Amino acid sequence: MSVEKINNSAGELERIVLKGPKDSSAEIYVFGATVTSWKSRGKERLFVSTKAKLDGSKAVRGGIPLVFPQFGPGALPQHGFARTRRWELVGAAVHGEGVYARFELTDNEETRASKWPYKFVLQYTIDLTATTLSTIIKYENSDDCDFDFTALMHTYFRVPQIDCAVVTGLKDVLYADKVKSADNVKEERDAVKINANEDRVYSNVPGVVSVSYGGERVQIRRFNYKDIVLWNPWAEKAAEMSDFGDDEYKQMICVEVGTVASKIRLSPGQIISCGQLLTIESNNDDNKL
């Protein structure tokens, strides 16, 4: 197991590669602290568009972009500024059965001059083992007044074909359908499949959610995040995005953990840790692959 630091042509730290046990690995760009690759048993689990910009010119289309302090459109640019800022690597090491990297983002003159002008500290830890990826952010209010925010981990899962991907754990949960402009719709299905443009916010999801495909599944456990966003642009929306291949919607599904239907509020000095644990499991039983 190892931690590798990779610089760009200008000699600046560009990304970190974590190599774990049993052919597991993860790659994290310092731009946005975006996880762009997660391999378990040598198989890629995340989707990144072949047209994604990896030069810092815009947010990465794929992997796990970080949404903070605003989900969607609003006073700030789409999805806030965390995914388009360079984060500082503050630690990385091999430990026990895995390896981790930790990044930090703080306010600066630009963020304090924005429509969200508060002082903050974010610490983001990515922890890799043979069959798991843990992504946890510690949000700290370092200002002298309260603030609130929405936050999300915009995880793009790679699937062999979208028509074989099934999401479970959402039955009886109320959701907002952003495509149809409908609120408080009740999910009636045990197994949710996508066959059209979908953009849904499931609120106050009670338990574990899983994505199944090709004889295996990724189990998604949330920590202090209330909601799940389910997204796929389908053909028409995919064709409208310059950093997304026209047919790539067939190889991905976004199942995103966050708190976006409501807000997280922190008092001065208050800290909350939120995140997810992704685990690769057999689709037929509870034994890990």
Looking at the annotation, which residues are catalytic?
154, 256
Calculate Rg over the CA atoms of the chain.
18
> Residue 60: exposed, middle, or buried by beta-carbon count in 10 A (0-12, 13-18, 19+)?
buried
Are the C-beta atoms of 31 and 81 separated by less than 8 Å? no
Instruction: Report the 3 state secondary structure along 194-210.
Output: CCCCEEEEECCCCCCEE
Are the C-beta atoms of 98 and 26 separated by less than 8 Å? no
Distances (CA, A) of 141 to 81, 179, 226, 268: 16, 34, 20, 5
Closest by CA position to 257, among listed 146, 135, 143, 160? 135
- Please report where in the chains the tokens 């903050």 appear, as a residue: 120
Closest by CA position to 8, among listed 25, 23, 26, 29? 29
Pick left, alpha or beta for residue 62 (phi over 0 → left; psi -120 to 50 → alpha; otherwise beta): left
Spatial distance between the Cα atoms of 227 and 278, rounded to a whole number of angstroms: 16
Distances (CA, A) of 89 to 66, 103, 128, 273: 16, 4, 16, 18
